[in-house]
Amino acid sequence: MKKVLLTLPLLLLPLLANAQAKFGYFSLQEALRSMPGYAIAQKNLSTLSAQYDDEMRLAEEEFNRKYEEFLDGQRELAPSILQKRQTELQQLMSRNIAFRAEAKRLLSQAEEEAYAPLRKQLTQLVQQIGHEQGYAFILNTDNDSLPYVDPEQGEDIMPLIKASL
């Protein structure tokens, strides 16, 4: 993906050679943060993340409590009971690890779903601005993908995006 982003400006050089072509650029992340729905999505994701964090903390506390009980009483336990408790602790640890991985996956999925409508709206807005302003293309400046732009040849469209939001 980065390779494509880095080669895109090179592929667009022939267009730039024609002095008539103009282009726009903007920061996708800055534009997303400017959108009204962004704060709501952030709040919802923070709430969900806190719920998962609380559940993971409770599971960790349960494991620690059971492990301490096991350590305190292991000398008095019969070998078969000792083995049973060790197995229970291993299973509990495995479930906690699996839950942590699943929570991370679900949070990532929730983030994608929360931002999808915003990204769609922003894409439509950028396309509209590009058409109205007669741009040959519009570039995203995030992640150092566009370290330099000559302001006489390209235009920052962030003010247009913010005004349209």
Rounded CA-CA distance 143/65 in Å is 45
Q: Is the pLDDT of residue 1 over 60?
A: no
Q: What are 148-160's pLDDT values in tens digits?
A: 888 888 899 999 9
Q: What are 54-86's pLDDT values in tens digits?
A: 999 999 999 999 999 999 988 888 999 999 999
Q: How far is CA 122 from CA 1, 31, 48, 125, in A?
A: 21, 8, 25, 5
Residue 153: per-residue pLDDT: 86
Strand ranges, E, within the chain: 23-26, 137-140, 154-156
23-26 sheet: strands from edge to edge: 137-140, 23-26, 154-156
Q: What are 9-54's pLDDT values in tens digits?
A: 555 555 555 556 789 999 999 999 999 999 999 999 999 999 999 9
By CB atoms closer than 10 A (0-12, 13-18, 19+), residue 161 is: buried
By CB atoms closer than 10 A (0-12, 13-18, 19+), residue 48 is: middle
Give the type of residue at 66: K
Q: What are 127-141's pLDDT values in tens digits?
A: 999 999 999 999 999
Q: How far is CA 56 from CA 69, 94, 97, 129, 152, in A?
A: 20, 13, 9, 45, 53
In the block, residue with structure tokens 């495995």: 94
pTM recorded for the entire structure: 0.71
Are 110 and 45 spatial neighbours (Cβ–Cβ below 8 Å)?
yes
